[in-house]
Amino acid sequence: MRVLVTGGAGYIGSVVAGQLVAAGHDVTVLDDLSTGFADAVPPGATFVKGTLRDCAAEVLSDGIEAVLHFAAKSLVGESMAQPSLYWGNNLGGSLALLEAMRAAGTPRIVFSSTAAVYGEPETVPIDETAPTRPTSPYGGSKVAVDTALAEFARMYGLGAISLRYFNVAGAHPEAGRPGAGEAGSAVRWLGERHSPETHLIPNVLGVAQSVARGSGGHLTLFGDDYPTKDGTCIRDYIHVADLARAHLQALGACQPGQHRIYNLGSESGFSNLEVLAECRAVTGVDIPAEIGPRRPGDPAVLVASSARIRADLGWAPERDLRAMVADAWAATLAMAEPDRTP
């Protein structure tokens, strides 16, 4: 299939683009490199550098059959400081993409939505029928795109699936590069390179790396007086490779005129202290940590119910927290090394 991956130079999009190339799809990546990296685009893919607004129409006019839409700004704090940036880029960019798809007759789209659409949940695990009450322009922009997808499905027959991810973690060896995986070939890891990095696991591993190098550092956990088993916040984590697999399954499941929503999580949350313990075990580094004050707006527990996608598509996560931390650590170490890939 001819597939457009928007945001395919970013963390998740690059892993999915690589898996699509490896599965034999004809992949075009559209990315403005605002937070992505050209070297993350799989070699087998065509890369177009540009924004959704400027380039989607031209790229789609070339016979693309499906879109995997990752391109977005995704920092909650930044969205609170610059809401217009998020409405313009995430909603405005997505509307430009949808309009270009309508004009070109592109029939299907899989969209990266987020747990942030739910805001403070009334019940956990959170299922797809929970009310959407985003507490940030970031979450608001994703709800708005979900709404637009439902309308494009109803009015123009688009086949659309929104995947609402909880916390994505881990890394994946690059697929799609000739020779990748063969004996003696260097493994290139696709992992998180966000700046600033707001996610717990890469931040804990960053401290581990700094301590291991003798540069010091420590981690601050935000609060230990939540009503949870050890007082720290509980979050649901999903390995980026499991997420990529869900995208490929969703791509095959889009039905004309339907917009479906699926949560993606593991249904079993981990506390911040449990994540810290796992990182200490994997790295062998006694990562120093202190408890700071709570962060405003942090719910105590965010855990997904993935029952709907299990029932409809037969998807289930396969990799546990140990695998996420181990792969993220391998990527952290590899990315610190000079690239020896030919």
Ligand X SMILES: NC(=O)c1ccc[n+]([C@@H]2O[C@H](COP(=O)([O-])OP(=O)(O)OC[C@H]3O[C@@H](n4cnc5c(N)ncnc54)[C@H](O)[C@@H]3O)[C@@H](O)[C@H]2O)c1
Going by the DSSP 8-state scheme, the letter that residue 126 receives in this structure is B
* Phi, psi for residue 180 in degrees, rounded to 5: -60, 135
What are 285's two structure tokens?
């580094």
Please state whether beta strands 172-173 and 289-292 pair in parallel, antiparallel, or not at all (unpaired): unpaired
Give min distance, CB of 318 to ligand X, in A. 18
Q: Which amino acid is at 337?
A: E
| Residue whose CB is less far from ligand X, 74 or 232 | 74
| Residue whose CB is less far from ligand X, 6 or 332 | 6
| Residue whose CB is less far from ligand X, 168 or 246 | 168
Non-local CB neighbours of 108 within 8 Å, separated by 6+ positions:
65, 66, 67, 158, 159, 160, 251, 254
Give min distance, CB of 196 to ligand X, in A. 11
CB contact at 8 A, 304 and 316: no
| Residue whose CB is less far from ligand X, 233 or 285 | 233
What are 203's two structure tokens?
């931040």
- Within its chain, how far is the Cα of 113 from the centroid? 9
Give min distance, CB of 168 to ligand X, in A. 3
CB contact at 8 A, 45 and 4: no
Give min distance, CB of 185 to ligand X, in A. 25
CB contact at 8 A, 210 and 216: yes
Give min distance, CB of 215 to ligand X, in A. 25
| Residue whose CB is less far from ligand X, 120 or 225 | 120
Q: Is the dihedral of CA 242, 244, 285, 302 positive or negative?
A: negative
Please state whether beta strands 26-31 and 46-49 pair in parallel, antiparallel, or not at all (unpaired): parallel
Active site residues: 138
Give min distance, CB of 328 to ligand X, in A. 12
What are 302's two structure tokens?
């965010």
Secondary structure class of 208 (helix, strand, coil): helix
Which residues contribute to the site for ligand X (CB under 6 A)? 6-7, 9-13, 30-36, 51-52, 70-74, 89, 93, 112, 114, 165, 167-168, 194
| Residue whose CB is less far from ligand X, 74 or 285 | 74
Question: CA-based angle 205:118:245, to the nearest 5?
Answer: 55
